[in-house]
Amino acid sequence: MMLVTTKPDFETLVDAYGGELFGYLWRLLGDEAEAEDCLQDAYLRAYKAYERTAPDNLRAWLYKIATNTARTRLQRNGRHAARQTELHEEHASGEAHVETQVLQRISAAAVRAAVGGLPPQQQAALLLRKYQGLEYAEVAVALGCSEQAARAHVYQALKKLRAQFSEEDYG
């Protein structure tokens, strides 16, 4: 007896991974509208290739398309450096500790800026691994590199971030 597996329909993939792909692209590109446009472009590319391809890992395959689409956008727009996301204003509730909220916002903005300043491969690897929760094998597929190279990109990114934040004086 032969086991036949079928690919899910494309709409199922969009439903399953759309939110996390959007979050990844937003972090990578630093702009909500640009992330939405990039996601639509990535979906279009994926849809055109979906029937003629049989990727082992659909999630990693979609991340690879999204990453390549983002790279193309950044290059086309003359922005080779990664973009930092804008700090989102959250409405302070009642008598909340304003000083604590301000310090948290400053810290979050500093981390976003530091991540945004990483080389593109390191930034993408870090976002995929630490923010999106992909396994190193999936990161490797998404970035088109070996698993060892994916590990090295994440390691180097974290090393740079640790060095940057250990040099800064927060006190």
Distance of alpha carbon 109 from alpha carbon 87, whole angstroms = 6
> How does pLDDT run across 93-136, given as a tens digit for each residue?
434 455 555 555 556 677 778 888 899 999 999 999 988 999 99
Question: Domain range spanning residue 49?
Answer: 10-85+96-167
Percent of the chain with pLDDT over 90: 44
State the burial class of residue 145 (Cβ atoms within 10 Å of its Cβ: 0-12, 13-18, 19+). Answer: middle
Mean pLDDT of the chain: 80
Its pTM stands at: 0.64
Q: What sign has the CA pseudo-torsion 11, 83, 148, 164?
A: negative
- Please answer whether residues 70 and 82 qualify as being in contact, where contact means their C-beta atoms are separated by less than 8 angstroms: no
Question: Does the residue 48 lie in any domain?
Answer: yes
Rounded to an integer, the average pLDDT of 35-49 is: 94
Confidence (pLDDT) at 88: 34
φ/ψ of residue 138, rounded to 5: -70, -40
How many domains does one find in the chain? 1
Q: Is the pLDDT of residue 48 over 70?
A: yes
In a domain, 5, yes or no: no
| DSSP secondary structure letters along 113-140 | HHHHTS-HHHHHHHIIIIIS---HHHHH
User: Is 49 part of any domain?
Assistant: yes
With contact defined as beta carbons under 8 Å apart, do 30 and 72 qualify?
Answer: no
> pLDDT class for 7, splitting at 50, 70, 90?
confident
Is 91 part of any domain?
Answer: no
Q: Is the pLDDT of residue 92 over 80?
A: no
Q: Report yes or no on 163 lying in a domain.
A: yes
Tell me whether residue 123 is in a domain.
yes
Helix (H, G, I), strand (E, B) or coil at 157: helix
- Within its chain, how far is the Cα of 146 from the centroid? 18
In a domain, 1, yes or no: no
Mean pLDDT of 22-31: 89
Report the CATH number at residue 40. Answer: 1.20.140.160
Q: For residue 90, is it within any domain?
A: no
Contact 31, 83 (CB under 8 A): yes
- Which amino acid, 39? L
Determine which of 36-40, 72-76, 90-94 has the lowest per-residue pLDDT on average. Answer: 90-94
Q: Quote the pLDDT of residue 51.
A: 83
